[in-house]
């Protein structure tokens, strides 16, 4: 069982609010990822990190930002939420060239 956690699991918020989705892992993995997935649709990589102070944009353009100040923590922030941000956000981590372990996801609804 992988130890990767996401909070909150569900979030309903109004337009214009700032939100931070938390992701933490206790496995000491250098690599961490954020994916966005609409119901029944494909996963899209929006951010990834190879280690502390490393962040890269993924394949899908996103208005969110990330930070990696500690190995175990990779939060995602939306400065001003909009209805188009409604989706499921999945965090994952891995060793180099190893299995990716996923968190349970955060389901975001922006009204």
Partner 1 sequence: KQEVTQIPAALSVPEGENLVLNCSFTDSAIYNLQWFRQDPGKGLTSLLLIQSSQREQTSGRLNASLDKSSGRSTLYIAASQPGDSATYLCAVEMDSSYKLIFGSGTRLLVRP
61 binds partner 1 (CB under 8 A): no
Q: Contact 109/14 with Cβ under 8 angstroms?
A: no
Q: Which two tokens stand for residue 64?
A: 């969110």
11, 67, 86, 105: residue in contact with partner 1 (rule CB under 8 A) = 105
Stretch that binds partner 1, among 14-22, 62-70, 71-79, 86-94 (CB under 8 A): 86-94
33 closest CA partner among 60, 13, 8: 60
82 closest CA partner among 16, 1, 5, 9: 16
Stretch that binds partner 1, among 21-29, 62-70, 71-79, 100-108 (CB under 8 A): 100-108
5 binds partner 1 (CB under 8 A): no
43, 55, 57, 75: residue in contact with partner 1 (rule CB under 8 A) = 43
Complete DSSP assignment for 66-96: E--SBTTB--EEESS--GGG-EEEEEEEE-T
CB of 16 to partner 1, least distance (A): 26
Stretch that binds partner 1, among 19-27, 60-68, 72-80, 89-97 (CB under 8 A): 89-97
């Amino acid at each position: 069982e992988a130890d990767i956690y996401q909070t909150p699991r569900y979030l309903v918020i109004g337009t214009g609010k700032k939100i931070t989705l938390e992701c933490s892992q206790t496995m000491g993995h250098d690599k961490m990822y954020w994916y966005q997935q609409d119901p029944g649709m494909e996963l899209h990589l929006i951010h990834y990190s190879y280690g502390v102070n490393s962040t890269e944009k993924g394949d899908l353009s996103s208005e969110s930002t990330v930070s990696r100040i500690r190995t175990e923590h990779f939060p995602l922030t939306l400065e001003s939420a909009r209805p188009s941000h409604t989706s499921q956000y999945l965090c994952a981590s891995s060793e180099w060239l190893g299995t990716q372990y996923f968190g349970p996801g955060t389901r975001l609804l922006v009204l």
